[in-house]
Amino acid sequence: MDSLVLLPEDPEEDDELPPPPNRSATLFASLLFFLSHLNLLKKKESKRVQQARLKSQNKELIYEC
């Protein structure tokens, strides 16, 4: 049976690892993305509401004539 050989840690390898991500910055970026996406959805919804309002006004005008 082979025995497991542990090698000593090389302190230079730690320098090559990227720093851990900044969680608050990541959360902030995610929140900004979510809010901007939500704002776009609201704008699309308001356009739909405006179109529906115009259609109802056109129907009222047709019935008045």
Q: What is the C-alpha separation between 8 and 17, in angstroms, rounded? A: 17
Q: Domain of 52? A: 38-64
With 0.85 as the threshold, say if the pTM is over it.
Answer: no
Q: Is 25 within a domain?
A: no
What confidence score (pLDDT) does residue 36 get? 86
Q: Is 59 within a domain?
A: yes
Taking CB atoms within 8 Å and a gap of at least 24, the contacts of 6-9 are: none
Q: What is the C-alpha separation between 38 and 45, in angstroms, rounded? A: 11
Q: What is the C-alpha separation between 46 and 16, in angstroms, rounded? A: 51
Query: What token pair was written down for 31?
Result: 């929140």
pLDDT in tens, the chain (65 residues): 567 676 666 555 556 767 777 888 888 989 889 888 888 777 777 888 888 988 988 887 777 66
Q: Is 58 within a domain?
A: yes
